[in-house]
Copies of this chain bind each other. A is one copy, B any other.
Amino acid sequence: MATRAAKSINGKAAPQALYQRIRADLEDKILSGRWPPGHRIPFEHELVETYQCSRMTVNKVLSGLAAAGIIERKRRVGSFVAKPVVQSAVLHIPDIQAEIAKRGEAYNYELLTRKRRKATKDDLDRLGMEQGCDVLVLSCRHIAKGRPFAYEERLINLDMVPPAVEIDFARVPPGTWLLGHVPWSEAEHQITATLADDDARQALALRKPAACLVVERRTWRKRKVITSVRVTYPNDLYRLTARFTPAGRG
């Protein structure tokens, strides 16, 4: 079993070490959604059978996945795909609905516009894509204590998230739905301060120009963009906090 070199598992390029290939294999099953959150991972002894290696090796893989928060393990019970993290401990720009609820304020949400179209050049720009795709274009606003709290403009890549077209986003905010249903592997935020543009000013019911915090986020799965969103917060209503520890030092 110690022979290195090729021995491809399911036909993809072999990284090198056996345990890395096993890990890549399992991660792929999970991140691709084939094994959804809550799905039971085969027992260690089954994986030993599957990959024809020792238990120590699959144990190393599973321990690593658990440490990375991708799976959860319970003694005597088994290992399961972890629920997607609603809110990364790292960057606290979560689901706006949950955010407001946590503060104990009344939450309200309104879908302003919804359009499905082939991506325009501008859409592709915002998504950071080259190739065309179908997109769902949404704008909405979030209301806390009766006051407009955030204005959200979102693009969803329908090629990556076909089910999104079926969802009634007049009832459930797109961010909430996406967080709960679409696994992602990478995210990028850009944060700027600007004076609200006309759309935003209208949606936020701002009389005169005001400083706003603008958060633009793009989310990927496997190097393909899932969604791009720009959220505009009036200056006095939002405060973004990010707290972290250099990897693993907690």
- Tell me if A189 and B242 are in contact (CB < 8 A): yes
A69 within 8 A of B: yes
0/1 per residue, A62-105, Cβ < 8 Å to B?
Answer: 00110111100000000000001100101100000000000000
How many residues of A sit at the interface, in one of the four size bands? 35 or more
Chain B, residue nearest A232 (CB):
B193
Counted per complex, copies of this chain come to 2
Cross-interface CB contact of A240 among B185, B192, B211, B243, cutoff 8 Å: B192
Give A187's nearest chain B residue, CB to CB: B244
Question: Provided the pairs A188-B241, A191-B240 are in contact, do residues A69 and B246 lie with their beta carbons within 8 angstroms?
Answer: yes
Chain B residue nearest to A64 (CB atoms) is B248
Residue A213 at the B interface, CB < 8 A?
Answer: yes
Q: Rank and list the top 3 A-B pairs by shortest CB-CB distance, nearest first.
A: A68-B248, A211-B211, A193-B193
The 28 listed contacts between A and B (C-beta, < 8 Å) are: A27-B249, A64-B248, A67-B247, A68-B246, A68-B249, A69-B246, A69-B247, A69-B248, A70-B249, A90-B90, A90-B247, A184-B246, A186-B243, A188-B241, A188-B242, A188-B244, A190-B240, A190-B241, A191-B191, A191-B240, A192-B213, A192-B239, A193-B235, A194-B211, A195-B211, A211-B212, A213-B213, A247-B247
